[in-house]
Chains A and B, each alone.
Chain A
C-alpha cells in the first residue's frame, strides 16, 4: 500500500507528462503546454479535463476580444461594419460554441465538442477577413485560431 501511495505521489508530481503526451499530439506543443500549465487543474486532469481547460481558454479569449471590439467602435468608427460582423461572430463563440463544447465533452459525445471548437476558429477567421488585410484584431484572432486547432486535436483524442 505504501509503495502504491509513493508511486502515485511521484506520478502526481511528474503528472506533467500527461500534459506533455497530450500536447505532443497537437499542432502547437508550446502553446498547448503553456495553456494547460497555467491552469491549476491541468496537473491532475485526464484528457477530457484538459480539453475543458482549453475550452475555458477559448471562452476567456473570446470575452477579451469582445471587449476589444467594443472599444474599437469609438476609436475606429470607419470599421463599424467589420466590427459588427466580428461582434456577431465572437458572440457565437461565447454563447454557442463554448457551451456546446463543454456540454458535449462532459457528457462523452466529443464530436459535438469538436464541432464547437472548430467553429470557434472559423468565426475568428471570418472576423479577421472582414477587415480585408487591415485588421486591428489580428493577434487576437490568430490566437483564437491557434487555440482552436490545439483544442481540436485534444478533443479528437476522445473520439
Chain B
C-alpha cells in the first residue's frame, strides 16, 4: 500500500469540547439560566451522544465522561503520531525524471513468491489458529475470496508436513452465522488435555459488534481438519462494559492456570491506552472476566493480535503455552493498530493474580523505541507451540508496499513470512532471537562459496546465476588495523545520531560502513536493494552496529513505498558480524547476528527481474576493509498447490 506525501500538519490542538462550547455561545449563558449548565454538561452529553451513536449493540455503555474529554486532546496528538510512521510516507518524485510507471504483466507476474505462503489469488492478511495435529501443520488465514483488497473476510486453510510445502484446502470457515456475518476474523487454537482442539475467533456480527466465538473440528479423526463446527451457543464473549463494540478482537491461545482453569487474553483499548483483557474458563463456553488487566500501556492505541507465551531462560527449545516457573520469562506481544508495528516485551507473569510486569518498563509493549520482532514490514504476527519438534514458531503477515491498482492488476495481495523459531536470547537476556525454520533448507539447491577482501568503496558482482530465489549466509570481519586506527583517531567522531531511517540509506558513507549485499539488483545498479551493516563509533568508543535494508532505490517505479528499514543489533565480544538473507522475488528477509535483528521488506523492481536479477557485495565504508565469507544457495520453489489425493 502506498501513501501520499501530503500528510498531516503537526499541530497539537488543545481545545477539549467544553472549552470551544463556552466560546461559541456566551450570550446564551447570560440570557438563559438553563444554559449555564451547557458549558459543563455539553461536553459530557455530547460525548454521551457520540457514544450512543457509535454503540450499535447494548454491549457497552460510556463510562466516565471525563475520560472521554481527554480523548479529544489525544486524538490531536494522533496527528503528530502519524508523521512518525515513516514507511507510510511516500514521495512522488516530482522532478519529472522518473516516468509514471505503467506496470505490465511481465513485471507483475515476476513478483509472485516461489517459497513463501500465499493463496492462489486475492487478498490475505492475519495468520490464524496455527497448529500441528496428526502429522500435519495447519495454517489458517484471513482471506478475501472476492478481491485483491481487504474485505468479505473468511478463514482460508492450508496444510503442510514441513511448514514449507503447503497444500491449499477448502475454506475452513465462512460468515454464515449472525455472529460472524460481517467477518470471520482472527483467532487462535488451544489443545485441551485430551488432545482435542478448540478454536476461539472474533466474529463481526450482523450489527457490526466484535464478539468471540468458539469452533472445533467437526471430525477429529480427519487429519486434514477440513470441516469446522461453530458452537451453537455462540458468541461466548461480547464486549464488556467500558469496552467499545469495535475494540474487542483477536483472542489468544489459552494457557492453564495453577488452579486448573484455562485463561485467555484479548486486546483492546480505553481511549489511547492499549490494554489486554483477561478471562478464565473451564469449558471455553462461559468465562469469568478478571477485574484487572494482564497489562496496559498508555498512548499505544488499540492492541490487535495480542500474543502471550513463555520462553525458557536457559534452553533453546520452545515451551508449551501453559508452562510457568522460575526458569521461564513471559512475552507479551501486541500489534499496534496505530502504527502497524508489532511490538513485544519480556517480563514476569504472576499466575495467582494474572498480571505481567515488564523487565524494562521504558521499552514496554508498544513504546516506539521498544523491541520488535521485525524492523520492516511485518504485522499481526502469531506464535504457536509446535509439540512435534518442541519449538515455538512465529508467523507474520507481510502486506504489499505497492499500489492497490497493481494488486488488482496482478490479482493478489500479501504473503506470509517464512515461519521462524522464537527463543529468548540467552546471551543478552534482553531480546528474542528468531530464525527461519530449518525445514527451509530442504529448498536449497546448488551453492557457491566465497571468501574475499573488499576495500573501501568497492562493489563486487557475485556470479550465482539466477538471483531471485536465494539463501545467503555471510560472515563479515572488519580489518583489525582499521578498527584500531578508527578508535585511536579523535577526528572520527562518535556517531550518536545514526539510525537506519535517518542515516540516508546505503549511499551515505561512514568510517565503518555500510557494507553488505545488494540483492535484486540490475547490472548497472539502477535498481538494487542493499541489506547491510553500518558500524558506528558510539560513546565510550564502543562500537555500535546497525542492520539496515534500504529499499529507496529498489525500483524505478514511483507508486511504491520505499523506506529504509532497520535497527541497532547487539554484537557481543568476540562475535563476528553475521547475516542471513532470504530473497524470493518481491520479498527480502534479513537476519543479523543469528536473528537478533530481523528485517522483512517488499520490493518491486521493474528492470532487475527474470534473467536480469543480479547479486552484488559492496563495501561503502570510507576507511575499513572488510573480509566477507559467504555461501549463496539457489532456492527451489515450494510448489505450493491445491491438495489432491496424490499428496497423501
Question: Which residues of A come within 8 Å of B, CB atoms?
Answer: 3-4, 6-8, 10-11, 14, 17-18, 20-21, 24-27, 44-49, 81-82, 84-85, 88-89, 92, 95-97, 99-100, 103-104, 106-112, 115-116, 118-119, 121-123, 125-127, 129-130, 132-133, 145-146, 148-149, 152-153, 156-157, 159
Contacts and interface: CB of A to CB of B under 8 A. Distances in A.
A7 B75 contact: no
A70 B391 CA distance: 58
B90 interface: yes
Contact of B34 (A6, A84, A133): A6
Contacts of B24: 14, 17
Nearest to A17: B20
Contacts of B102: 81, 84-85, 130
A29 to B, nearest CB: 10
B39 to A, nearest CB: 11
B79 A25 contact: yes
A62 to B, nearest CB: 12
Given A96-B405, A121-B4, 12 more contacts: A4-B45, A10-B38, A17-B17, A49-B53, A85-B102, A88-B405, A92-B403, A108-B210, A121-B6, A129-B99, A132-B99, A153-B8
B405 A89 contact: yes
Contacts of B45: 4, 7-8, 11
Contacts of A20: 20
B403 A11 contact: no
A92 B75 contact: no
A107 B246 contact: yes
Contacts of B301: 159
B405 A92 contact: yes
Contacts of B182: 107
- Most-contacted residue by chain B among A11, A20, A95, A130 (CB, 10 A): A11
27 contacts: A7-B37, A17-B17, A17-B20, A27-B6, A44-B53, A92-B408, A97-B149, A99-B151, A109-B246, A111-B337, A112-B149, A119-B2, A119-B3, A119-B403, A119-B404, A119-B405, A125-B4, A126-B92, A126-B100, A126-B403, A129-B92, A146-B6, A149-B4, A156-B78, A156-B338, A159-B301, A159-B337
Given A99-B151, A132-B96, A149-B6, A3 B34 contact: yes
A103 B151 contact: yes
B247 interface: yes
Interface residues of B, number: 70
A88 B409 contact: yes
B78 A100 contact: no
A157 B76 CA distance: 8
B14 to A, nearest CB: 11
Contacts of A157: 75, 78
B46 A118 contact: no
Nearest to B245: A108
Interface of B: 1-4, 6-9, 13, 15, 17, 20-21, 24-25, 28, 34-35, 37-38, 41-42, 45-46, 49-50, 53-54, 72, 75-76, 78-79, 82, 88, 90, 92, 96, 99-102, 147-152, 182-183, 204, 208, 210, 244-247, 301-302, 337-338, 340, 403-405, 407-409, 558-559
- Most-contacted residue by chain B among A24, A49, A81 (CB, 10 A): A24
A24 B3 contact: no
A118 B4 contact: yes
B149 A100 contact: yes
B54 A122 contact: no
Contact of A96 (B96, B147, B338): B147
Contacts of A153: 8, 79, 82
Contacts of A95: 408
- Most-contacted residue by chain A among B28, B45, B405 (CB, 10 A): B405
A44 B466 CA distance: 60
- Most-contacted residue by chain A among B24, B35, B149, B301 (CB, 10 A): B149
Nearest to B150: A112
Contacts of A119: 1-3, 403-405
A48 B337 CA distance: 16
B405 A104 contact: no
A138 to B, nearest CB: 13
A108 B246 contact: yes
A30 B565 CA distance: 36
B51 to A, nearest CB: 9
A148 B3 CA distance: 10
Contacts of A26: 8
A89 B53 CA distance: 35
Contact of B42 (A11, A27, A100): A11
Given A107-B183, A126-B559, A115 B150 contact: yes
A97 B4 contact: no
Contact of A104 (B35, B90, B150): B150
B20 A21 contact: yes
Contacts of B404: 92, 96-97, 100, 115-116, 119, 123
A111 B149 CA distance: 13
A18 B208 contact: no
B61 to A, nearest CB: 16
Contacts of A122: 2-4, 90, 403, 559
Contacts of B9: 27
Contacts of A82: 100
A47 B50 CA distance: 8
A27 B247 CA distance: 27
A15 to B, nearest CB: 8
The 8 closest A-B pairs by CB, nearest first: A108-B246, A121-B4, A129-B100, A92-B405, A130-B100, A118-B3, A112-B150, A46-B53
Contact of A7 (B17, B42, B76, B152): B42
A107 B205 CA distance: 9
Contacts of B340: 111
A24 B76 CA distance: 9
A14 B244 CA distance: 26
Contacts of B79: 25, 153, 156
Contacts of B90: 122
Nearest to B301: A159
A80 to B, nearest CB: 12
Contacts of A97: 149, 404
